[in-house]
Amino acid sequence: MEALRIESTHKTPRVILDPENGIFELSGRSIPEDALGFYKPIFDWLDAYARSPLPVTHVRFDLEYFNTSSSKNILEILKRLEAIHTNGHEVRVTWYYDEDDEDMEETGQDYQALLNLPIELSVKIQS
């Protein structure tokens, strides 16, 4: 399956969905002009991937900041991953947050509470 790669901008995240190399990642900021327009290709890609996923899919979320319209779309991504997981294919999510960013940590906890999906909260290592 062809990878989906979207380069980051100063208001949208970098997206890599690359099953061949086992890289699934969203990173950066997310305050797009049209959140649904930005996330729709990701939903479509995941819907196609769900038909034949890898035995283990490890997805990294490493976001700097985002607004609630993005958080709803991120939840939609996680729901698609949850469906893959429920269908017997292992999915692991790592939710990175800055140790001083309690809101980002709390958002990860929200997703843990709302989904039946292994989501590990992990403090970013400062470079």
Catalog residues that contact other proteins under the rule CB under 8 A: 10-11, 29, 31-33, 35-36, 39, 65-69, 71-73, 75-76, 98, 100-104, 106, 110, 113-114
CB nearer other proteins, residue 36 or residue 56: 36
Rounded to whole angstroms, how far apart are CA atoms 69 and 54? 29
Compute the least distance from the CB of residue 103 to other proteins, in Å: 5
CB nearer other proteins, residue 2 or residue 110: 110
CB nearer other proteins, residue 30 or residue 53: 30
Nearest CA to 100 out of 67, 61, 65, 51 is that of 65
Compute the least distance from the CB of residue 67 to other proteins, in Å: 5
Compute the least distance from the CB of residue 56 to other proteins, in Å: 26
End-to-end Cα distance, the chain: 34
CB nearer other proteins, residue 3 or residue 114: 114
Residues 6+ away with beta carbon under 8 Å from 39: 70, 73, 74, 76, 77
**Helix axes 102-114 and 68-86, enclosed angle (nearest 10):** 40
- Check residue 29 and report its DSSP letter: E
Compute the least distance from the CB of residue 127 to other proteins, in Å: 15
